[in-house]
């Protein structure tokens, strides 16, 4: 069954009633089992709060997410969330920063990157559920007027910069932006599709996407 992306439209103010409705719908369909109360382990507790925050921000967006619910999902008291992160904005920023982790597609071999990435994108978004949730979180952030400027800074420093270094060569800035935009577009398509492609459609998809990525990775100014 296909996955439906319910994202807040950019430029709109989200009122309390829409947050309430969204929270009710998302809780019924998507909320994970609540964590048991945690023993005092600072590192594990902090990590649990961050994971719960990412899940809440992915489901509801920044404006509708509530610290009390994040704390409940993490199995801690809300006062502990404030002690570790100070408030919702600081928690969001840290969750956003850690969503741009190292590894992933940019660790693929340059020689086989285009086909490897195309093959990944032809698959199901549910294979790496944590990564998919992180991407949904970033999409939510991109569509909120409150958080889009923060995301722009994070993308520039923690997403585009590593891609520029990975690509190298002439015009790496522009090539990195086009490659990132293309890859994100395919990620959205995979998320909407909600399942792996099959048969001839999969073969054609991989073939065409491989050509696209190969062209974007290649430094045309380099000697043949």
Question: Can you give 134-161 as a three-state secondary structure string?
Answer: HHHHHHHHHCCCCCHHHHHHHHHHHHHH
38 occurs within a structural domain: yes
Residue 70 sits in which domain range? 16-95
Sign of the CA dihedral running 11, 17, 20, 25: negative
Confidence (pLDDT) at 11: 34
- Which of 95, 117, 144 is the last residue before a domain boundary? 95
Q: Which CATH number covers residue 89?
A: 1.10.10.60
Residue 112 and residue 198 in one domain: yes
Last residue of a domain, one of 95, 125, 152: 95
Highest-confidence segment of 8-12, 60-64, 194-198, 220-224:
194-198
Note whether 88 and 40 are same-domain residues: yes
Q: How distant is the alpha carbon of residue 65 from its chain centre?
A: 16
Q: Are 114 and 213 in contact (CB under 8 A)?
A: yes
Pair (150, 58) in one structural domain: no
CA 200 to chain centre: 29
Instruction: Say whether both 56 and 117 belong to one domain.
Output: no
Is residue 53 a part of any domain in this protein? Answer: yes
Co-location of 88 and 110 in the same domain? no
Q: Which of 71, 95, 119 is the last residue of a domain?
A: 95
- Residues 70-113: pLDDT tens digits? 999 999 999 999 999 989 989 998 888 887 754 556 677 888 99
Token pair, residue 173, equals: 């800035």
For the chain, what is the domain count? 2
Do 91 and 184 lie in one domain? The reply is: no
Q: Are residues 122 and 209 in the same domain?
A: yes
Residue indicated by tokens 């929270």 = 23
Query: Which of 45, 144, 53, 128 is CA-nearest to residue 96?
Result: 53
Task: Decide if 159 contacts 100 (C-beta within 8 A).
Answer: yes
Distance CA 91, CA 69 (A): 13
Does any domain span residue 39?
Answer: yes
Indicate if 67 and 121 belong to the same structural domain: no
Q: What is the pTM of this model?
A: 0.65
Q: Would residue 10 count as lying in a domain?
A: no
With respect to residue 26, please indicate whether it lies within any of the assigned structural domains: yes
**pLDDT tens readout for residues 50-69:** 999 988 988 888 888 999 99
Q: How confident is the model at residue 45 (pLDDT cuts 50, 70, 90)?
A: very high
pLDDT at 16 over 70: no
pLDDT for 195 equals 95
């Amino acid at each position: 069954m296909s996955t439906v992306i319910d994202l807040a439209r950019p430029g709109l103010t989200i009122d309390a009633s829409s947050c309430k409705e969204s929270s009710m719908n998302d809780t019924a369909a998507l909320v994970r089992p609540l964590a048991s109360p945690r023993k005092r382990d600072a590192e594990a507790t902090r990590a649990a709060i961050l994971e719960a925050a990412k899940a809440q921000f992915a489901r509801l967006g920044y404006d509708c997410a509530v610290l009390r619910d994040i704390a409940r999902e993490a199995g801690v008291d809300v006062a502990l969330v404030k002690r570790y992160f100070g408030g919702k904005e600081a928690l969001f920023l840290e969750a956003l920063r850690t969503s741009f982790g190292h590894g992933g597609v940019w660790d693929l071999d340059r020689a086989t990157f285009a086909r490897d990435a195309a093959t990944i994108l032809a698959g199901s978004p549910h294979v790496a559920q944590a990564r998919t949730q992180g991407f949904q979180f970033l999409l939510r952030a991109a569509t909120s007027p409150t958080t889009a400027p923060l995301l722009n800074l994070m993308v520039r420093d923690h997403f585009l910069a590593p891609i520029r270094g990975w690509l190298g060569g002439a015009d790496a800035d522009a090539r990195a932006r086009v490659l990132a935009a293309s890859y994100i577009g395919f990620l959205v398509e995979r998320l909407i599709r909600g399942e792996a492609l099959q048969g001839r459609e999969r073969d054609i998809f991989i073939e065409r996407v491989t050509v696209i990525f190969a062209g974007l990775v290649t430094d045309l100014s380099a000697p043949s």
